């Protein structure tokens, strides 16, 4: 395969369960003298460290490699900082973003003393979620199909200190640049909320998105489509074909990594922030979700929208626990700039076959039983996929076990409904603080089967409150000067 650096490198055979020996054979085949070890922190960002392949042998896949975990976000227990990263050979791939051939592998985190998996490792949570699903007898596979959106900017500047707080973004596609002197300015700027599906020359990022897709395909990621999204200023979407929960968690990490690095090479910058542009559409990550057993979909049936009772109960579980789920699925203060009533985001905790203002939608593009699935529309791409999708699975399983029917669907235009009619439809929390409060009160369903631990949940809540909610609450907002300076 041709990497982004122009080298021609083969890829591991897709579907093969690679062994430690396969890793070294593959490294030799591609001429890689370096291994890049990657693992994910609690919030969902990859960390890495590189090692000469010549300094390693097959024992590393059992003994692991030691590192200091005290500086990793969410893992800062200084008195227990020694940790082990044990690479998973099944994740072997060529990392195309180094000058020389480099083989990448994703690691799981272990305690070096007890030799037990570290409970705050998000990838371990996904592993446990899949095991719990199989043990439940309800299904054996959870498929996830995310639709992450993002912005491609030409420049971003921001600062926050004691005497100044500002941000500035810019994009050659920005509607605000229609009068900028560009020598010449040729127009073709997507208008606010006018960026959905235009062809070139309005869509200036087709080739860049295409390069992102080609790099993903070389990694074995199956991409279904890419296109310009609704907002101005380079909003984009690249959709991956559904895959099992853990594998999609791994792919989502590669997805962000590839997109950011391809953009940087082109002199652009990418953000997955849900709401970077005021008064325009934000970036969500509608997450398609289905359960299968022995190769057959179990959400298909003869109920509403061709769902089975199990499918309806799964919706009931997601809606019941939605406020708590959003602490993982929409996990930033900025997430709630997008989840705002009256805008495009789905804030109504209801379900529908076609109504995109409902939090859970049942796509109706196909009558095939294999296509019957749920689409949870509230998540956004700042989430940690391993945690968000595991939490979704646990909520659905709770609904199925307890036969939680979701009630009547929302098949009306909400903008034509009266305030009295809307009172009966609950909404998503209005802030990250409220979602964290909901998680604090409602998380027993996550603890089933030991998938999530009380320690992880407590750590998540305390980290988010201290480092995000409180930090934002304490700072004056730039718009407050416009509102109050001359009072």
Enumerate the active-site residues: 68, 147, 149, 229, 237, 286, 356, 375, 377
Question: Which residue shows structure tokens 């590393």?
Answer: 60
CB 335 within 8 A of CB 388: no
Torsion of CA 469, 474, 478, 484, to 10 degrees: 130
Report the 10 Å Cβ neighbour count for 464: 23
**In whole angstroms, how far apart are CA 200 and each of 103, 174, 203?**
37, 15, 5
DSSP state of 466: I
Q: How many CA atoms lie within 13 A of 269 on its CB side?
A: 11
Q: Kindly state the tokens that stand for 262.
A: 């391809």
Place of tokens 């652009």: 268
The rounded distance, in Å, linking the Cα atoms of 142 and 242 is: 10
Angle of CA points 381, 290, 459, to nearest 5°: 45
Helix (H, G, I), strand (E, B) or coil at 328: helix
CA distance 107 to 300: 36
Q: Is 443:325 a contact under the CB 8 Å cutoff?
A: no
């Amino acid at each position: 395969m041709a990497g982004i650096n122009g080298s021609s490198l083969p890829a591991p055979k897709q579907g093969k369960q690679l062994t430690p020996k396969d890793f070294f054979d593959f490294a030799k085949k591609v001429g890689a003298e370096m291994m890049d070890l990657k693992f994910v922190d609690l919030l969902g960002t990859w960390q890495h460290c590189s090692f000469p392949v010549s300094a390693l042998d097959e024992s590393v896949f059992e003994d692991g490699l030691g590192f200091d975990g005290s500086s990793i976000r969410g893992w800062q227990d200084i008195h227990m900082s020694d940790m082990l990263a044990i690479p998973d050979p099944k994740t072997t791939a060529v990392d195309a973003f180094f000058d020389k051939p480099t083989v990448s592998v994703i690691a799981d985190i272990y305690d070096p003393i007890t030799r037990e998996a570290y409970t705050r490792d998000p990838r371990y949570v996904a592993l446990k979620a899949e095991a719990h699903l199989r043990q439940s007898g309800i299904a054996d596979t959870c498929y996830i199909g995310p639709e992450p959106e993002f912005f491609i900017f030409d420049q971003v500047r921001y600062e926050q200190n004691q005497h100044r707080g500002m941000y500035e973004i810019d994009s050659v596609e920005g509607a605000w640049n229609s009068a900028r002197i560009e020598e010449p300015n040729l127009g073709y700027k997507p208008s606010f909320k006018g960026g959905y599906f235009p062809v070139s020359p309005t869509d200036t990022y087709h080739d860049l998105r295409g390069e992102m897709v080609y790099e993903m395909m070389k990694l074995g990621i199956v991409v279904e489509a890419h296109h310009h999204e609704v907002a101005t200023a380079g909003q984009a979407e690249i959709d991956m074909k559904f895959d099992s929960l853990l594998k999609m968690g791994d792919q989502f990490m590669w997805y962000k990594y590839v997109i950011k690095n391809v953009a940087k090479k082109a002199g652009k910058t990418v953000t997955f922030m849900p709401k970077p542009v005021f008064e325009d559409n934000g970036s969500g990550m509608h997450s398609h979700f289905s359960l299968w057993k022995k190769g057959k979909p179990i959400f298909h049936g003869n109920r509403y929208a061709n769902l089975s009772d199990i499918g309806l109960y799964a919706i009931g579980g997601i809606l019941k626990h939605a406020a708590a789920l959003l602490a993982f699925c929409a996990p930033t203060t900025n997430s709630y700039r997008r989840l705002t009533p009256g805008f495009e985001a789905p804030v109504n905790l209801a379900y529908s076959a076609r109504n995109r203002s409902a939090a859970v939608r049942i796509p109706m593009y196909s009558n095939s039983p294999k296509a019957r699935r749920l689409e949870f529309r509230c998540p956004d791409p700042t989430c940690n996929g391993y945690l968000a999708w595991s939490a979704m699975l646990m909520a659905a399983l709770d609904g199925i076990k307890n036969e939680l029917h979701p009630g009547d669907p929302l098949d009306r235009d909400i903008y034509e409904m009266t305030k009295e009619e809307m009172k009966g439809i609950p909404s998503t929390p209005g802030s990250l603080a409220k979602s964290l409060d909901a998680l604090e009160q409602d998380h027993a369903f996550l603890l089933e089967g030991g998938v999530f631990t009380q320690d992880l949940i407590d750590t998540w809540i305390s980290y988010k409150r201290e480092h995000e909610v409180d930090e934002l609450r304490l700072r004056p907002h730039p718009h407050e000067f416009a509102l109050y300076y001359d009072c």
